[in-house]
Structure 1
Amino acid sequence: MLAGCAAPKQPARQAPVVDRSPAPAAPTSPRAPAPAAPIAAPPGSENAGKPGYYTVRPGDTPRPATASAPASASPPAPTPATAAIGDAIALVWPARGPVLYQFDETRSKGVGIGGRAGDPVLAAADGRVVYAGSDLRGYGNLIILKHNNTYLTAYAHNQTLLVREDQTVRQGQMIAEMGSSDADRVKLHFEVRRQGKPIDPLSLLPSR
């Protein structure tokens, strides 16, 4: 009876088994590539397509290599100074009397023309009065006409002056009356100056 009443024999408990082997590695997937860094736009790309701009492409040849550099601008060479066209003049006799003396570069610098007091003194060519007075010693009452940038004529020893400075006169116009101011007799002393230098008036006056 004791045996029958005894509790049924329990099966022996087994200790839990612990698997200490390393766990299998989890399957790995291919690594995704890192996102590429944004490419910086080249300088000047914001002007692409705009008028007046050109986009360089592979194979382009640099423009200084194919085109010659523009010549540097330089001022034109100065033109040598010359007498203006038309500066040559044709003269008429400034008085009717005889020639008293001829040109001498070292002494008279002009010609003397005789006459009577009050005889007309005429402009030998068109011009402008640049002097009318008696301030130049040895010339008496004097008139100087400028005809152009090259020629002047002078009329000395007048009795009366009939024109004033800066007045325009015409060839053959009466500009004075012949006289003997600052001279030993009545006469017209007539000079021609080319670029300031006295020349022989007879070389420009018509022959009589």
Structure 2
Amino acid sequence: MRTFTRVAAGRLAGVFKILSTLLWLAACSSSPQEAPVQDLSPPPSQKLTHHTVTRGDTLFSIAWRYGLDYKALARRNGIDAEYRIYPGQRLALDVRLKPVAKPPPAKPKLRSKSQTKSAPVVPAPQPSNNQLRWRWPVQGKILQRFSPNNGLNKGIDIVGNLGQPVLSAAPGMVVYAGNGVRGYGNLLIVKHNQRYLSAYAHSRRILVREGDRVKAGQKIAEIGSSGTDRNKLHFEIRRNGKPVDPLKYLPKR
């Protein structure tokens, strides 16, 4: 009896040992393998080289957004002096490269005797760079000044009351009126001549349209808080596409 018990116990121990081994192998095969370490940090930012025109864009607003001279942007993309662009058009932003080749001009068609030659379009005269006399667009306390080093503020911020008139700082033509430039809210851009543009941001209401010619001191908008947290006017002057300190152009007060 004792012999039988010892044999049975030995067999049970062997079976238990085999089962333990099988269970250990099964656990090893089913345990997940350690995943390789991956760097999930975002890739470094890359400078955009192209912009696809969307509805509401103008050549001037695109140049403003990327800090470019609108004339250089037009030359780079083979755009004529009318500066017309269309939705879906892809514009190269690397303005220092060679301009896009223009197609050869079409041969003029012969005119019949009954046709008349249309009069050339003569653009309205614009003040020269030396004739510009800047004036304050609003009267109010300066909330934030121009930041030339870090570029956080490309103009000046002037505190105002809701609905307070915003005046054109110099004569010129409205080349953008909309809210398609991020961070500016309702934005107006006025072209004064071939060198200078001015901008009026965060308006509650815009009172002029693209293509309108405005006089110095003309009411063009109303102060608001569109795109910002308080009622104010953000005012910029750009010379050849680059922001300059408006306080160096506006009269002392």
TM-score, normalised to structure 1, is: 0.59
Distance 1:125 1:167 in 2: 14
Distance 1:97 1:202 in 2: 14
92, 101, 113: which one pairs with 2:144?
101
Give 1:179's aligned residue: 224
Distance 1:132 1:190 in 2: 14
Cα-to-partner distance string for 1:120-166 (whole Å, 9 max, x where unaligned): 00000000000000000100000000000000000000000000000
Identity, % of aligned pairs?
54
1:85 shift after superposition:
8.8
Q: Moved runs in structure 1, 4+ residues, more than 4 A?
A: none
Distance 2:177 2:170 in 1: 17
Cα-to-partner distance string for 1:46-100 (whole Å, 9 max, x where unaligned): xxxxxxxxxxxxxxxxxxxxxxxxxxxxxxxxxxxxxx99313221000011111
Question: Is residue 148 from structure 1 mapped to residue 193 from structure 2 by the alignment?
Answer: yes
Change (3 A) 1:103 1:85: same
Q: Name the amino acid aligned to 1:174.
A: K
SS at match of 1:155: strand
**Structure ID, larger Rg:** 1
Give 1:79's aligned residue: none
Q: Number of residue pairs matched?
A: 125
Where in structure 2 are there 5+ consecutive unaligned residues? 1-125
Give 2:180's aligned residue: 135
Change (3 A) 1:85 1:128: closer
129, 133, 149: which one pairs with 1:90?
133
| RMSD over aligned Cα atoms | 1.3
Q: 1:117-128 maps to which residues of 2 (within 5 A)?
A: 117-128=162-173
More helix by share: 2
Question: Is residue 162 from structure 1 mapped to residue 207 from structure 2 by the alignment?
Answer: yes
SS at match of 2:247: helix
1:200 shift after superposition:
0.1
Give 1:14's aligned residue: none
